[in-house]
Amino acid sequence: MHLPPCPRRVLLGVTGSISAAHTPTQVLALRQLFGAEVRVVLTPAATQFVAPRALAVMSGAEVLGVEARPVTSPAVDHVEVASWADLLLVLPATADFLARTAAGTAPDLLGAAVLAAACPVVVVPSMNHVMWRKPVVQRNADQLRADGIGVVPPVHGVALADGSSGEGATPPLTEVLRWVAAWSREREAVSA
């Protein structure tokens, strides 16, 4: 299987979706299959679905956003992690995260990192198919696209939370990275 390219340093944002349960495996794949350095930022709700310790072990780095860190340097966390990254990938991205980001609010470290990022920012929505089709969610996704944020289309699948079926599932990681590579090429062509 031919693997798509992957940026060298990936800041992986994780929000409070049941799909976050897959994050440790995705972090390990980013490191082992794609050779990326990975740092993870969790929203407070994400900790209900994935253990920060598991992500620290899989990433080999401190997981951010979990609790307040002692002030040991003048660096500002959201600015520091955003400037470190070659790609800020929010996987999974809930409807709530899409709404907050589209409105430009930053109530947590991940939201602030998105606002501070100079690198490409890509979100991967993951939610019930009925939620994904709501006009307000589509408007938020359209606003993110208009603001230069990549929005990976969800795929048809079975919802982890309720067993329903429809468009709203997270694509496999290789497909997400293929989408990111194609989107990046399009952005470069437009700016050239």
Q: DSSP assignment, residue 7?
A: -
Domain presence at residue 15: yes
Task: Name the region of 178 (left: φ>0; alpha: ψ -120 to 50; beta: rest).
Answer: alpha
Domain presence at residue 4: no
What are the residues facing 151 on neighbouring strands? Answer: 123
Q: Is the pLDDT reported for residue 75 higher than 60?
A: no
pTM recorded for the entire structure: 0.92
pLDDT digits over 21-65, tens only?
999 999 999 999 899 999 999 999 999 999 999 999 999 999 998
Q: Which domain holds residue 87?
A: 9-60+80-191
Domain presence at residue 70: no
Bridge-based pairing of strands 9-14 and 87-93 is parallel
Alpha-carbon dihedral of residues 107, 184, 52, 60, nearest 10 degrees?
-130
Domain presence at residue 74: no
CB neighbour list of residue 102: distance below 8 Å, 6 or more residues apart: 139, 140, 141, 143, 144, 147
Q: Is the pLDDT reported for residue 78 higher than 50?
A: yes
- CATH code of the domain containing 87: 3.40.50.1950
> Which pair of tokens denotes residue 163?
């067993």
Instruction: Specify the number of domains making up the chain.
Output: 1
Provide the pLDDT for residue 160.
Answer: 62
Report residue 6's pLDDT band, with 50, 70 and 90 as the boundaries. confident
Q: What is the mean pLDDT of the chain?
A: 90
pLDDT digits over 124-163, tens only?
999 999 999 999 999 999 999 999 999 999 998 876 667 7
> Which pair of tokens denotes residue 179?
């989408």
